[in-house]
Chain A
Amino acid sequence: MTTNGTPASTTTSEDATVESSKPAATRPGPTLWRNIATPVVLTALMVVLGFVVGEDTLTTLEEVLALVVFATATNLLLGQGGLVSFGQAVFYGIGAYTVALGWLHWHLSFWLTFFLAPVVSALVAIPVGLVALRARRLYFALSTLAFSELAYQLAESRYDFTQGANGVFGPFVPSALTDPIRGYLFLLAITVISLLLMWKVTRSPFGLVLRSIRENRERMQALGVNVYWHQLIAFVVSGFFCGLAGAMFVIYSQSSYPELLDWTTSGSPIFMAVIGGMGTFLGPALGAFIYQFGHDELVRYVSDWQLVLGGVLLLIVMFWPDGILGSLTKVKWSELRKSLKRGGSDE
């Protein structure tokens, strides 16, 4: 199912060889539990959570879900590809603007624009990726940042089309989603499907090649792998899901404005990935929860949200590069290995 014909076992064993050299990376686990039970249990938990919490928290949860998709999509590049993009906000913003402008200019149906949004973002990601990926490392980060600024400037200066700095506000959401719990469940469904699809991408042979490029670009080139095209595909896939996240954003915010496209907006999914653990698949999602709830709690008590955020980020980057899930999984594995060894010597 994962690999379209390639036996699944081959993929897993290859995964293991690549990743054993880098403990912080996403790692294979007992496949049945990881592939079926984890998503089912987490989804069930989230559904229950939706019925338990109050309406305010429900809104925050909706925000979190959009950010979960945004952060996981950004981490496709960051964690899998080792590509630092300060431009993912472009696709997030374009996703939101697709819904908003479709409504504003052409009175398109919400459902059409919602599912069109990721496609539009992916289409824009093709030329952006074609140019930006010609640059390497820091130059790549700088180029993506500059593309973000270009998008921001366009959104702000083309007043006739985008309503400029004011942004577009409107009743975008159809009646089927205005009820908070129904809106939440819809977003949850979209999130679960997106995560499963992205999980499939990271577990596919394509994902393996992407991680191998991150580890040793020259070797992959020598093996005849077209690094540029693999990274471009990853960039477009990431753009697709960032666009979807932007469309999700519109559902609870009922708006779209230029700041969504700004490069500093690209910083937040990177934060989430770093907090939760870039090397793990669900790390960014966990990071999104902590980030958003942390934000909502903190702004009640302190005015210096950025100061706290920057401080936390700095400390994590300096002293805890694996993030939460990254170090959790690390600990478990070394313990497991130890106990296995002990078990072996007893016999």
Chain B
Amino acid sequence: MDSGSIITNLIGILTTAGTLFMVAAGLTLVFGALRLINIAHGSFYMYGAYFATTLSAHLAGAGFWVALVVCPLAVAVMGALVEVLVLRRLYRREHLTQLLATFALLLIFADIALRLWGKDVRSIKPPSALSGHFQFAGAAVPIYNLFVIGVAVLVAVGLWALMSRTKLGWRIRAVVDDPEVLASSGTNVPLILTGVFALGALLAGLSGVVIAPQQAVQPGMDAEIIVAAFIVAVIGGLGSIVGAAVGSLVIGVVETLGAVWTPSWASTFIYALMILVLAIRPWGLFGEAER
């Protein structure tokens, strides 16, 4: 492999991994605090992308930058509503109930999206500042990909700082171990849970906005990304941000290199890898065994 194709593949790997990481990090953050797997997490990603297409259609020029700020916030509000109206009532029930409820939400959100935006494939143009390529070591590097990677890195650093450098992060980590003690020490536990869920939704929405100029925005992208995020979770381990990062990178590598070397088998490689991880560590590389 010459230096040009190494760079091209590396950019491909990091772009895939970056997008996946933002979705998987939200999923894993929510699992860490609320101990539930949100199947509707993929819906938040899809709505982020759809909101972005609608907004940028109405606001030419600066539309993308506005969308980048507004749409994830809108999705976060959706998330907060879901937590308050549905999930909050189910925490004390068995995990099956939460799985089914979020699966139901996935179906509901999918049909609403179909009603609102139709079956057609939508897309948005990247802003002029981020379009185009530049030459580097014999490879044409798309500027937009660097932007995606940059956002993912910012999210990763931000999450790390939040969780390990702030008091809020400490509370979020404590909420799952001992909500009663935390509540008696004056923390508003329900607010933290809603906040974490909204933050998870925000990350999924952000990822949706960021991929909208790169990928087709269409029905079915919710189920597609959630399966990918689950595989990241299975490989990396739920509840671990590091696991989400490693899992996303692994999938990025396998998907990108698989597509180069054996396109027809690429999609099955990931699952083979996942089964291997499961056989060795059923709770993922960085996860903790469930009691």
Which residues in A have some Cβ–Cβ distance to B below 8 Å? 78, 82, 84, 131-132, 134-139, 141-143, 145-147, 149-150, 153-154, 157, 263-264, 267, 270, 274, 304-307, 309-311, 313-314, 317-318, 321
Highest count of chain B CB atoms <10 Å: which of A132, A143, A154, A270: A143
Flag B78-108 by CB within 8 Å of A: 1 or 0 each.
0000000010011001111101110111111
Contact A306-B108, Cβ < 8 Å, known A263-B227, A313-B100, A318-B86: yes
Which residues in B have some Cβ–Cβ distance to A below 8 Å? 31, 37, 86, 89-90, 93-97, 99-101, 103-108, 110-112, 114-115, 223, 227, 230-231, 233-234, 238, 264-265, 267-268, 271-272, 274-275, 278-279, 282-284, 287, 289-290
Closest chain A CB from B224 CB (angstroms)? 10
B227 touches A149 (CB 8 A): yes
A313 touches B111 (CB 8 A): no
B274 touches A138 (CB 8 A): no
B233 touches A142 (CB 8 A): yes
Q: Can you list 23 A-B contacts (CB < 8 A)?
A: A131-B275, A134-B282, A135-B283, A136-B290, A137-B95, A138-B31, A139-B284, A141-B37, A142-B37, A142-B234, A146-B230, A146-B274, A149-B227, A150-B268, A150-B274, A153-B267, A157-B268, A270-B100, A270-B103, A306-B111, A307-B112, A314-B105, A317-B101
Residues of chain A contacted by B233 (CB below 8 angstroms)? 142
- Determine the distance from Cα of A53 to Cα of B235 in the docked complex, in whole angstroms: 51
Closest chain B CB from A9 CB (angstroms)? 32
Residues of chain B contacted by A306 (CB below 8 angstroms)? 107-108, 110-111
- Determine the distance from Cα of A332 to Cα of B4 in the docked complex, in whole angstroms: 74
B274 touches A134 (CB 8 A): no
Residues of chain B contacted by A142 (CB below 8 angstroms)? 37, 230, 233-234
Main DSSP-derived SS at the B contact region: helix
- Determine the distance from Cα of A143 to Cα of B90 in the docked complex, in whole angstroms: 23
- Determine the distance from Cα of A317 to Cα of B90 in the docked complex, in whole angstroms: 9
Listed from nearest, the 7 A-B pairs whose CB atoms lie closest are A310-B107, A150-B271, A307-B111, A310-B108, A135-B282, A314-B104, A313-B104
Main DSSP-derived SS at the A contact region: helix
A317 touches B230 (CB 8 A): no
Residues of chain B contacted by A132 (CB below 8 angstroms)? 278
Residues of chain A contacted by B105 (CB below 8 angstroms)? 310, 314
Highest count of chain A CB atoms <10 Å: which of B111, B223, B231, B283: B111
Residues of chain B contacted by A270 (CB below 8 angstroms)? 100, 103
Which residue of chain B is the closest to A150 with respect to CB atoms? B271
Contact A131-B108, Cβ < 8 Å, known A146-B230, A157-B267, A318-B86: no
Residues of chain A contacted by B95 (CB below 8 angstroms)? 84, 137-138
Highest count of chain B CB atoms <10 Å: which of A141, A146, A309, A321: A146
Highest count of chain A CB atoms <10 Å: which of B104, B106, B114, B274: B104
Residues of chain B contacted by A143 (CB below 8 angstroms)? 234, 278, 282
B111 touches A84 (CB 8 A): no
Residues of chain B contacted by A138 (CB below 8 angstroms)? 31, 37, 95, 99, 238, 290
Contact of A134 among B99, B111, B223, B279 (CB under 8 A): B279
Closest chain A CB from B268 CB (angstroms)? 5
Other A-B pairs, 8, CB within 8 Å; known A132-B278, A142-B234, A307-B108: A138-B37, A139-B290, A150-B268, A157-B268, A270-B100, A310-B104, A311-B104, A314-B108
Residues of chain B contacted by A141 (CB below 8 angstroms)? 37, 99
Residues of chain B contacted by A134 (CB below 8 angstroms)? 278-279, 282
Which residue of chain B is the closest to A308 with respect to CB atoms? B111
Residues of chain A contacted by B97 (CB below 8 angstroms)? 317, 321
Which residue of chain B is the closest to A159 with respect to CB atoms? B264
Closest chain A CB from B222 CB (angstroms)? 11
